[in-house]
Structure 1
Amino acid sequence: MTPSHDSANRFSDLDRPPLNAAALRRALVREGGLYRSLDVVAATGSTNTDLAARADDLPEGAVLVAEEQSAARGRLDRRWSAPPRSGLFFSVLLKPDAVPVERWGWLPLLAGVAVASGLSRAAGVDTALKWPNDLLLTVDGEERKAGGILAERAGSGVVLGIGLNVTLRADELPVPGAGSLALAGAASTDRDPLLRAVLRSLEQWYGDWRGAQGDPAAGRLQEAYVAGCATIGRRVRVELPGGRRLVGEAVAVDGDGRLVLATEGGGREAVAAGDVVHVRKAE
């Protein structure tokens, strides 16, 4: 667990001002756009859990942002925490009715591309993607995880959750190998323009993907993901349920969003995100 700040006082850390919910709504919620509502709460357990509970009653494009999460979850229900207002922690409700359900698995990868694109413009940093759902930043010459993505089915749609460390200091990192925009030397750590940039990027990529009926090649999503994926070209060890392991070079991401390995036996094997426990560099 990371150190906790006094969340009762919104201005307890002057380096971490609260988000301006009204300004964010004015910038992002507009007629004909994706986003229909945007709410910022001081604290909650999990924005994904909150949106999922109301998914059938909310329109597509509902956004929930939390200044602090007490029960944030990653893939496979892994837990993580961060000080209040030290990052961007938000979820978006998507209902891609026109896209075949078998292509919905591309949504967390799409979110990775959108976050990387938005941060490149707004923060001046290169964000690499670790398949399937991690966001990597370079800190002191080392790739470090600075965020993650979680997509969960909810009613007739998907809740897409994104967590990104923005101003975490070295003594606040949940694990030594973590990172943040501040530690990566970002040109800006002002969360309001960062959130606007990421959500606008998500709106663009999602709109193109939906317009292509979820075809990752036609919408150039597959090409963009592979170009930004740090996993491709590396020798990795994939840990699967039941203690099974695969070792090989990650050579591609296929049309279903699966990671393709050239295995040591000379063959190729594709693994889906839902079947993977860990993907690590192979020694």
Structure 2
Amino acid sequence: MPQDDPKTLVSTDWLAAHLKDPDLRILDASWYMPDSGRDARAEYEGTHIPGARFFDIEEISDARSDQPHMAPPVEKFMSRMRALGVGDGHQVVVYDGTGIFSAPRVWWLFKLMGHRDVAVLDGGLPKWQAEGRPTEDMAPIVKDRHMTVRFQNQLVRDVTQVSRASKLGSTQIVDARAAARFRGEAPEPRAGLRAGHIPGSRNVPFGLLLNDDQTMKPASETTAIFEAAGIDMSKPIITSCGSGITAAILGLALERAGHDSWSLYDGSWAEWGMFPTVPVATGEA
């Protein structure tokens, strides 16, 4: 059983014990691939953990970008969090309807904005429901709360920075996509993208870091998984994936393992695979 840490990952037992804490804020950050046939908001409105508010990953993003759900401008994040009643002094717990899939993305967004008291619910809504814990379909009563943002530049990377890291080998790049997509053997789910991976990157499919019940494996196991993929856990890491969602699962696992020098490539393959001027590698790393 992973140790509860209100800055990274908490168990359903922990959340149940703290459910009525006045400064706890729970966010449903469910997001599904476009071809999944699932409607995250509709599912939230039908059933959610008591008091949870819906964090819309697509809407709380940078509307000026051509890339999907890029990190929002600071002002937009602040205004949306005020509308959700989330702000300074709150312990935030984020969950999703898969188990651990999109919730770490929102955990990373809060960290990016300088809010440190945020954790992912281990096993998410499926585990919570499987244990017979309470749910509701009522919208929570929301009171405005100011949020102070201190943007953490070191937690995000753009295509220029990643290209430099790829060329120089100065920072390790770890890709969370499935192995067949990494090798360029499976088509990308988004149209118009080349197949393959960033030259020099390593592959740790995010599913390797999770147990069958979609809880995260212990830090000792995840460290061994990264090392088996050829990653030096003492050196800086950039995480990547299809569109910046599951790259955050790698970030959460790294943080749990005590690695404090990692960042997320926000554009990920949705950006890199579209750029005609950056190289693409195929086959094994």
**Structure 2 length normalisation: TM-score?**
0.26
Q: Work out which structure has the larger RCO, using CA pairs closer than 8 Å and 6 or more positions apart in sequence.
A: 2
Q: Which has the higher strand share?
A: 1
